[in-house]
Amino acid sequence: MTQETKPKQTREFQAETKQLLDLMVHSIYTNREIFLRELISNASDAIDKVRFESLTNSALLEGNSDFEIFLVPDETTHTLTISDNGMGMTYEEVVENIGTIAKSGTKAFLAKLKEKETSPDQELIGQFGVGFYSAFMVAEKVTLLTRAPGEANGIRWESTGDGTYTIEECDKEQRGTTIILTLKEEFRTAEENFLHTYTLQSLVKKYSDYIRYPIKMNVTKEEQPKDADGKPIEGADAVKTIEVRTLNSMTPLWAKNKNEITREEYDSFYKDLFHDWENPLEVIHSKAEGTVEYTSLLYLPARAPFDLYDRDATGGIRLYSKHIFIMEKCQDLLPEYLRFVRGLVDSPDFSLNISRELLQHSKQLKLIGKNLEKSVLKTLENLLSKDRPQYESFWKEFGQALKIGVYSDYQSRDKLKGLLLFPSSHSADGLTSLDEYVGRMPEKQKVIYYATGKDRSSVERLPQMELLKEKGVEVLFLFDRVDEFTIDALQEFKEKKFQSISRGDLQLDDLESPEAKQDAESLSKENEPLLQAIKEKLSGKITDVKISSRLKSSAVCLVSDNNGISLSMEQILAEMNKAPFKASRILELNPHHEVFTALKKVYETDPTATAFTDYCDLLYTQALLIEGILPDDPIGFANKVANLMAHSGK
Ligand code: ADP
Ligand code: MG
């Protein structure tokens, strides 16, 4: 090479990388064989990259388009070499990709370690794909040679995993990357030897069988020479011939028959492709022929990613055409509410360089999308009816997406309502579906009751719950802030309307005795002047004052009528800075409570005295506090309470 090359430099790894390397080198990780899967997967990614980019720039191929990954074990040098003719890396890319930790999986791994503040256990390491660095689990030295297409020089990078690496320019004929592992002694023993062709063959089968490119290796065949009749010649030395063998079947997993695929294979494919470290909850693999032809492999992940509900985070399905990768995240396939579904669609009907624009208008895509949506919903319905614990664990992670779907996607409302789960007063820890709730409703109950609040104990203690509890009426508990929007959007289920326990008339008529109803009515009439006076005192704050029929042992509560929004929604909207929406506020008083008697006495003694004004204020503020709403004037409230305490102590 006449060109000047960059001289050899020794550099330090980034601190985090050092930490990780140290872990790799000294790890107690048992499953060290996965290093091969990681390196092969990187090679395959790099070939994907060059092939994809060559669609628009064929010069990148440099005339070499027989994509392959080659393994060379060498017993004399104790090295295992893994080469690919993929995209390779430039000098800067090597420094960037190999010297630092840019990768989210690795970062998450380190974050998890910090969080735990203990030494890493095997399980923890096993959960994360740690990629390239896993080479240091088995190698005392890692040498990487690489050349990006179009570059005159290659790069040689080397490290023993001790915190530094060297980097220099070098000659490299073939485009792509070659990784040479000088194996630690313990991996060249009789029990575990990563230089044995048999071991390598089975590792490739185990972890990398579906890799789309041939993974090749020279395999030595020994044959006893034969005579003219085909009989082995005794005493003659065996003849060794070398043949190139392709170790993987290359058929992508999704193209195989369902009955030939084990759950483990589905799982490891998922983890590899979607960089998840947990097995998926459910796999949906289907093939369709007819109007549209496609194969789809969809997964319900076990856990929601932290950014699932982030507007800018992109869900989406991978697209392939005849096994060839087209697009990473196609968002037009599944409705927004299924954004958590991961997976791929392979259809010969898509052309390889179809644009996102064209895709959006593609009839085939719409048809496939409809089918996928159907099959995901079907899977969820089955899960709900056949494997409740599994469904609940799905619900815990992704229920919110479905709930948002109900109120943001009008067309999906009916498809989703049967899948909703809520906690309820029926059992202390279980969840109920709307179907189950309705199934338990006594014939006389007309509506589905729900209560909103921050958690079970606060809802169970709401004054508005008292009567319902006494009557043994089941109430759904809405703790999630999207719940009420969902219920509001549904309006009814199986012709039963939803009724908040804090709004309007409880419609308990048929459950309530006629006497109790009469009681409330006559008490209202009897106390008309008092109620009117309270309403005037609290004018501007409340819309009405009523004798309550829902309270049993509490003195007051605040409810709103059935029009407009509820108090809890008002709070949520206020937090979202949508303050102009106000709920109506109706103060309900328990006529059988001692406080009511006291209030009446104060009123009758002197309706103009400040004592009466104070009582009204105190009652209203209490009602607010029960709803979790801070009074406008907390200091005034505290002073009044203090006053009252001082007086009663006298
Ligand atoms: P990941 O594959 O998840 O990105 P790795 O640690 O396995 O993480 O690899 C880090 C980066 O190094 C890759 O993203 C890629 O840019 C680069 N890389 C690793 N191996 C190769 C290779 N064989 N050819 C080209 N680039 C590679
Ligand atoms: Mg990788």
At 617 the pLDDT is 93
From the CA of 132, the nearest ligand is 1
Average pLDDT, the chain: 87
Please check if 89 is assigned to a binding site.
Answer: yes
Please check if 97 is assigned to a binding site.
Answer: yes
Please check if 132 is assigned to a binding site.
Answer: yes
Whether residue 86 has its Cβ less than 6 Å from ligand 1: yes
Whether residue 49 has its Cβ less than 6 Å from ligand 1: no
Q: Please check whether the domain covering 512-648 is classified as CATH 1.10.357.10.
A: no
Tracing tokens 């958690």 back to the chain, one arrives at 455
CA of 38 to the centre of ligand 1 (A): 9
Ligand 2 ion: nearby residues, β-carbon < 5 Å: 42, 131
pLDDT in tens, 71-117: 999 999 999 999 999 999 999 999 988 866 655 556 666 676 666 55
CA distance 211 to 410: 42
Report how far apart, in Å, the C-alpha atoms of 292 and of each of 69, 287, 347, 348, 393 are: 34, 10, 8, 9, 34
Residue 300 phi, psi dihedral angles, 5° rounding: -100, 115
With a cut of 50, say whether residue 1 has pLDDT above it: no
- The arrangement of secondary structure in 420-510, i.e. its CATH architecture, is 3-Layer(aba) Sandwich (3.40)
> If you count DSSP H runs as helices and E runs as strands, how many of each does the chain have, helices first?
21, 23
With a cut of 50, say whether residue 156 has pLDDT above it: yes
Burial annotation 205-223 (CB, 10 A radius, 16+ → b, else e)? eebbbbbbbbbbbeeeeee
Residue nearest to atom 21 of ligand 1 (CA): 42
Mean pLDDT on 30-51: 87
Task: Please state, for a pLDDT cut of 70, what percent of the chain lies above it.
Answer: 90
Please check if 38 is assigned to a binding site.
Answer: yes
User: In ligand 1, which atom is closest to the CA atom of 86?
Assistant: 24
Sorting pLDDT into bands at 50, 70 and 90, what band is 38? confident
Whether residue 177 has its Cβ less than 6 Å from ligand 1: yes
Whether residue 43 has its Cβ less than 6 Å from ligand 1: yes
Whether residue 46 has its Cβ less than 6 Å from ligand 1: yes
Domain 9-225+233-246: CATH class, spelled out: alpha beta
With a cut of 50, say whether residue 122 has pLDDT above it: no
Amino acid identity, residue 621? T
Question: Exposed (0-12), middle (13-18) or buried (19+): which is 340, by Cβ within 10 Å?
Answer: buried
pLDDT in tens, 167-226: 999 999 999 999 999 999 999 988 889 999 999 999 998 778 878 899 999 998 888 888
Amino acid identity, residue 608? T
CA of 49 to the centre of ligand 1 (A): 11
CA distance 169 to 427: 69
At 295 the pLDDT is 97
Q: Where exactly are the structural domains of the chain? A: 9-225+233-246, 253-387, 420-510, 512-648
Tracing tokens 């191929």 back to the chain, one arrives at 61
Please check if 562 is assigned to a binding site.
Answer: no
From the CA of 96, the nearest ligand is 1
- The DSSP call for residue 581 is -
When mean pLDDT is compared across 115-119, 306-310, 352-356, 359-363, the lowest value belongs to: 115-119
- 340 vs 3, residue with greater confidence: 340
Between strands 342-346 and 317-321, the pairing is parallel
Query: What is the reported pTM?
Result: 0.66
For the record, the structure tokens of 574 come out as 């206020």
Mutational test site, ligand 1, from 97, 144, 211, max ligand atoms within 8 Å of CB: 97
Sorting pLDDT into bands at 50, 70 and 90, what band is 455? very high
Mean pLDDT on 346-369: 81
With a cut of 80, say whether residue 352 has pLDDT above it: no
From the CA of 136, the nearest ligand is 1
- 410 vs 4, residue with greater confidence: 410
- 388-408 and 483-490 helices cross at what angle (nearest 10)? 70
| Segments of 317-384 assigned E as strands | 317-321, 324-330, 342-346
From the CA of 21, the nearest ligand is 1
Q: How many C-beta neighbours within 10 Å does residue 580 have?
A: 7
Please check if 303 is assigned to a binding site.
Answer: no
Report how far apart, in Å, the C-alpha atoms of 183 and of each of 56, 135, 141, 187, 506 are: 40, 9, 7, 6, 75
Contacts of 426 (CB under 8 A, 6+ apart): 432, 437, 440, 474
Whether residue 370 has its Cβ less than 6 Å from ligand 1: no
| Cα angle 622-626-630, degrees, rounded to a multiple of 5 | 75
List the alpha helices (DSSP H) in 446-593: 456-460, 466-471, 483-490, 514-526, 528-537, 567-575
Report how far apart, in Å, the C-alpha atoms of 266 and of each of 123, 154, 273 are: 20, 37, 11
Q: Please check whether the domain covering 253-387 is classified as CATH 3.30.230.80.
A: yes
pLDDT in tens, 86-96: 999 999 999 98
